[in-house]
């Protein structure tokens, strides 16, 4: 009988474009001797960046890892909406008399800070009547998902050159970057979809700690992972760190869907 690996710890991957999160975990698990494994938050195939993989006893901390804040950087294309709110869907071009100024984009983004109500994308993994929302949407029956309360700790316009606005975000659990792209367009009277997405952090686990699968050895052992106790300590330290106050933090967010 083949014995499974008892490897325990956290592996921070920099997921490649075009690969599903489950495929990345499958490859890492095979290299880790078929150790028990799971990940702390899905990244779509069109997204890249931090994917936290837990091995062994660390899988018991997955719920806690998923509840931590996340960091993202996205390119929002303001020239069109799409059916999926990213570049995979069918485009619907939006005619704009004059592109919004940088100041207008910054003002619109400021409205999305704090606790807000956000409508998830129709193409999402949310359960609707026992089925995934994306399955219904693929069958030409996209569900009208109700807005949900999410937290945006920080948001900033990194670069703007029409029609692309590059935005950095630090958010809480359940936040959809694709919804932000769509809603930013609605706020500006333009289009809006996510042209690219890179997750820069999951809690204390950042791109600086991340490794690409191609750079990992064929056999993943203790030298490749963060010990569980070290990982939990880093999470505790982040939780205890004072958070900067935002002038837009309010119980009732300024926007819904």
Sketch out the chain's domains with CATH numbers: 9-67+203-240 (3.30.70), 70-200 (3.30.2350.10)
Note whether 85 and 55 are within 8 A (CB).
Answer: no
- CB 35, CB 5: distance < 8 Å: yes
Quote the CA–CA distance of 83 and 91 in Å, as a whole number.
7
Sites in the chain below the pLDDT cut of 70: 1-4, 122-145, 241-257
Neighbours of 242 (CB within 10 A): 5
Q: What is the pLDDT of residue 12?
A: 97
Token pair, residue 158, equals 């990194």
- Closest to 22 in 3D by CA, of 45, 4, 5: 45
Torsion (CA) 224, 226, 227, 232 in degrees, nearest 10:
-160
Residue 54 contacts by C-beta under 8 Å, 6 or more apart in sequence?
9, 10, 11, 37, 38, 39, 40, 61, 62, 65
Dihedral sign for Cα atoms in the order 188, 191, 195, 201 = positive
Residue 193's closest CA among 178, 205, 207, 209?
178
What pLDDT was estimated at residue 202?
96
Helix, coil or strand: residue 185: helix
Structure token digits, residue 60: 């018991």
- Cα–Cα distance for residue pair 27/13, rounded to 1 Å: 11
Exposed / middle / buried, residue 11 (Cβ in 10 Å: 0-12, 13-18, 19+): buried
pTM: 0.85
Under DSSP, the state recorded for 47 is: E
Q: Is 44 a catalytic residue?
A: yes
pLDDT per position as a tens digit, 192-227: 999 999 999 999 999 999 999 999 999 999 999 999
Residue 144's region, left for phi above 0, alpha for psi from -120 to 50, else beta, is beta
Q: Which of 14, 16, 44, 215 is catalytic?
A: 44
Which residue is it, tokens 């009277």?
Answer: 189
Euclidean distance between the first and the last CA atom of the chain, given in angstroms as a whole number: 54
H or E stretch at 166: strand 164-171
Q: Are 14 and 167 in contact (CB under 8 A)?
A: no
């Amino acid at each position: 009988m083949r014995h499974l690996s008892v490897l325990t710890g956290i592996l921070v991957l920099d997921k490649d474009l075009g690969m599903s999160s489950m495929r990345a975990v499958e490859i890492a698990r095979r290299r880790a001797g078929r150790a028990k494994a799971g990940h702390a938050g899905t990244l779509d195939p069109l997204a890249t960046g931090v994917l936290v993989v837990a091995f062994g006893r660390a899988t018991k901390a997955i719920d806690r890892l998923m509840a931590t804040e996340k960091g993202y950087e996205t390119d929002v294309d303001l020239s069109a909406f799409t059916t999926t709110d990213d570049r995979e869907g069918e485009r619907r071009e939006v005619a704009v008399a004059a592109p919004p100024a940088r100041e207008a984009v910054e003002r619109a983004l400021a409205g999305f800070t704090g606790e807000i109500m956000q409508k998830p994308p129709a193409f999402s993994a949310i359960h609707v009547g026992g089925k995934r929302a994306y399955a219904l949407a693929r069958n030409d029956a996209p569900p009208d998902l109700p807005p949900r309360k999410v937290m945006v700790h920080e948001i900033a316009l990194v670069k703007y050159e029409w029609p692309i606005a590059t935005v950095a975000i630090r958010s809480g659990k359940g936040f959809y970057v694709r919804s932000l792209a769509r809603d930013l367009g609605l706020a500006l009277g333009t289009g809006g979809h996510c042209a690219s997405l890179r997750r820069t952090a999951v809690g204390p686990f950042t791109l600086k700690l991340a490794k690409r699968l191609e750079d990992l050895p064929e056999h993943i052992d203790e030298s490749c992972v963060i010990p569980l106790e070290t990982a939990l300590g880093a999470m505790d330290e982040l939780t205890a760190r004072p958070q900067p106050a935002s002038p837009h933090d309010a119980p009732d967010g300024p926007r819904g869907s």
